[in-house]
Amino acid sequence: MTTPQAEDETIDAGEFGAWLLATLACLRGDGGAEVPCGDCVGCCVSSYFIPLRPGDHAARARVPPAALVDAPGQEAGHLMLGYGPTGECPMLDAGRCSIYADRPQTCRDYDCRIFAAAGIEAGGPERRVINQRVRAWRFSYRDDDARRAHAAVRAAAAFIRDRWQAFPGHCAPTAPTGIAVLALKAHAVFLDAATTSRPDTETARAIIRA
């Protein structure tokens, strides 16, 4: 089982500037995430639907049909791993992923440091285990540029979360993952000191363009 994490425990999240570059590359599809999960299986017990992409051949061969559900809001045939009544992935066995070597790409790429970077939690009570981990991550900084980049990511996340009405058609993401990912991609908008004096609608458009 997952080792319960002490509330005051801290975990090295790595150097922020290097992490940001690697994560942005991963979001572009140019590489996978390397997450120091340790024995944490927070993302496996947190009521996530896990998509099985067409390229997840090994995972598709290992997952029993009974564990699959049609993806909510998607056409039939887009398969996902569902989760049990307590939020556990059906492939979790005795606290460990039973198909770890063949796990889906989404599981390989999941990096809850995006929430720590953005200064937000991963969700409500169903994400309790991940939220503990998010609170424990501590980034280091190689220079002031890295500190400024982190401050910009946090400012972007706060803007997206709090000023959603400034976005055309109110199209800002509202789920934590969407907010964090957009904040990472658009953080450069908040590296510009002039952003704070611009109208919110202009800042929102700049975020969308980023």
Binding residues (CB under 6 A) for ligand SF4: these are 44, 50, 81, 89, 91-92, 97, 99, 103-104, 107
Decide whether 54 or 169 has the Cβ nearer to ligand SF4. 54
Measure the CA angle with vertex 96, ends 83 and 47; round to 5°. Answer: 20
| Residue 66: Cβ-neighbour burial (10 angstroms; 0-12, 13-18, 19+) | exposed
Decide whether 104 or 176 has the Cβ nearer to ligand SF4: 104
Rounded CA-CA distance 69/76 in Å is: 10
In the complex, least distance from residue 48 CB atom to ligand SF4, rounded to whole angstroms = 7
Q: How far is the CB of 123 from ligand SF4 (least distance, A)?
A: 15
Q: Which is nearer to ligand SF4, 107 or 136 (CB)?
A: 107
Question: Min. distance of Cβ 46 from ligand SF4 in angstroms?
Answer: 9
* CA contacts within 13 A on the Cβ side of 33: 22
Closest CB 22 distance from ligand SF4, rounded Å: 20
Return the number of the residue (31 or 95) whose C-beta is nearest ligand SF4: 95
- Residues in Cβ contact with 157 at an 8 Å cutoff, skipping those fewer than 6 apart: 118, 119, 120, 179, 180, 183
